[in-house]
Amino acid sequence: MEIVVIWFRRDMRLDDHIALSKAITYAKKHQYRLFAFYHLDPFFTEMELDLNNEHFFQNLANFVKEARESHMYVHLIHDDILSAFQKLMNAYDINAVFFNEDEVGNGRTRDEQVTRFLEEKGIHVSKWQDTHLHGARDILKADGSHYQVFTPYYQAWRKQEKQSVIKVDKSFLSSEHTICDESLSEKGDEKLRDIIKKCTRKFDQIGSDKARSTLGGFIQERLTRYHEKRDIPSVFGTSKLSRFLKTGTISIRTIFHAVNEEELFEDEGKETFIKELAWRDFYHMIFAHYPEMKEKEINSSFQHIKWNDDETLFEAWCKGQTGFPLVDAGMRQLNEEGWMHNRLRMVTASFLTKDYFIDWRKGEAYFARKLVDYDEASNIGGFQWAASVGTDAVPYFRIFNPTTQSKRFDPSGEYIRRYVPELKHVNEKWIHEPSKMPIDEQMKSGCVLGDTYPLPTVDHQERRKRAISTFEEAKQT
């Protein structure tokens, strides 16, 4: 029996899915049956569970359940990737394989390996760019080189026509046209069940239905004022769509067109949000052109900086025990929810790399384990930006003052009190700098510095001067 394979990955949906739509069209044309599968990579299934992968696997379980209920049996194959395809070839005569490709990181390497393997066997491979509005090589300068600065990239990006929402013929998804081979999925099903049982936290913001309702709520309730509210962590002013983009339970095209076509009295909120989608494409493009950026600074002047390796300070940052309330609130939100407000991502990354002068790679790796919306390119790009070592990065002499940021974006301390309960009863006068609180105020608020809540672990002004000096020295060598 000849079949067409649709290989799912970070695209856990049946709507607006390029590879699925193309695979169905191909199968209908040639009268082949469709075989759907997800590859459970042992590298990830044997990894210690944390918020990121717990969230991802719960989304996968939900997607597999919903797809099977929609009469498309998504098989789970647990093995190394080439062995997984060999199992398929042993069982069926594969005519073609369709998937949405990865253009960066380990996924790119895997896709190239699989493509070679399949094509050597005479199997047609059909790869599509589905995860971004524009692929890594779609937006280039007139001379064919890539952009390194966001603003001109965005100007070119905004002028480019965006692909329409893709229609998927779901009437084809039936037992007549798709294959259900439970024996091939038995090992994978068991492995996924075991993982779900071990999860320490249950996430409810998962699945395509929740993604669509979140998008609708954002457009109706928060889009108009997005540009005003998105930087204030105490209010619900962001889209909360990033976690759905991470797993592909909603497509980037669906989001873009729903927002772009919304008629608003004032467009600033809409344009600000669309610019955030462009940042996502920008960092993806940068990662594709600098594949070593996960381990190496893009700015070669700073590739030999000697970072501080103080594990005590790093642990304080991870746990939200730095003595700087806004930084601690952000890190505790991350540890509790697997998500952190974007303003706090910048503040905490800047604090780690400039105040503690700890290697940005350590912070990036910690976020990778915790963030349910972890996007490799954006996270690496964001940390290199905060550390002033990447492309279009914040200048090294512009260093976030965590206290100033706190007063500006959480003036009443509402966000701080939500995530740092030790400061819950501290007066607004002292909430941003509790270390200046007189002893009688400490007793009255139930927050004794050095006991209930830590004293500042570093002197910001002193660390700021040291960071600038180190960067200036690096530039001269």
pLDDT tens for each residue of 17-26: 999 999 999 9
Write down the pLDDT at residue 266.
79
Q: Are strands 2-8 and 93-100 parallel, antiparallel or unpaired?
A: parallel
For the chain, give the percent of residues with pLDDT over 90: 97
What pLDDT is attached to residue 319? 98
25 falls within a domain? no
Q: Determine the pLDDT at residue 32.
A: 96
Alpha-carbon distance of 111 to 439, in angstroms, equals 61
Question: Where do we find the tokens 């990662």?
Answer: 287
Does the residue 218 lie in any domain?
no
The answer to whether the beta carbons of residues 195 and 290 sit under 8 Å apart is no
Instruction: Return the closest-CA partner of residue 92 out of 3, 205, 30, 15.
Output: 3
Return the CATH number at 435. 1.10.579.10
Residue 60's closest CA among 203, 178, 170, 213?
A: 203
Could you tell me whether strands 74-78 and 33-40 are parallel, antiparallel, or unpaired per DSSP bridges? parallel
**Residue 311 falls within a domain, yes or no?**
yes
Collect all residues with Cβ–Cβ distance below 8 Å to 144 and sequence separation of at least 6. Answer: none
pLDDT the model gives residue 127? 98
Q: Do 172 and 34 contact (CB within 8 A), yes or no?
A: yes
Bridge partners (DSSP) of residue 3 are 33, 94
Domains identified in the chain, total number: 1
Find all residues with CB under 8 Å of 454, minimum gap 6, and list them.
316, 321, 322, 323
* Residue 396 within any structural domain of the chain: yes
Selection from 214, 180, 240, 210 nearest residue 35 by Cα: 180
Report how far residue 262's alpha carbon sits from residue 142's, in angstroms, rounded to the nearest whole number. 32
Sequence letter at residue 176: E
Is residue 168 assigned to a domain? no
Q: With a cut of 70, which residues of the chain have pLDDT below it?
A: none
Q: Residue 28 has what pLDDT?
A: 96
The radius of gyration of the chain's CA atoms, rounded to the nearest angstrom, is 24
- Residue 450: other Cβ atoms inside 10 A: 10
Report yes or no on 315 lying in a domain.
Answer: yes
Closest to 256 (Cα-Cα) out of 130, 129, 163, 379: 163
In a domain, 332, yes or no: yes
**Host H or E run for residue 99:** strand 93-100
CB 57 within 8 A of CB 199: yes
Instruction: Indicate the helix (H) or strand (E) that contains 444.
Output: helix 439-445
Answer positive or negative: Cα dihedral of 171, 219, 273, 351.
negative
Within-domain flag for 368: yes
Check residue 308 and report its DSSP letter: B
Written as six digits, the tokens of 398 are 């512009």
How many residues belong to the chain? 477
| Structural domain containing residue 448 | 300-476
Residues facing residue 320 across a β-bridge:
none
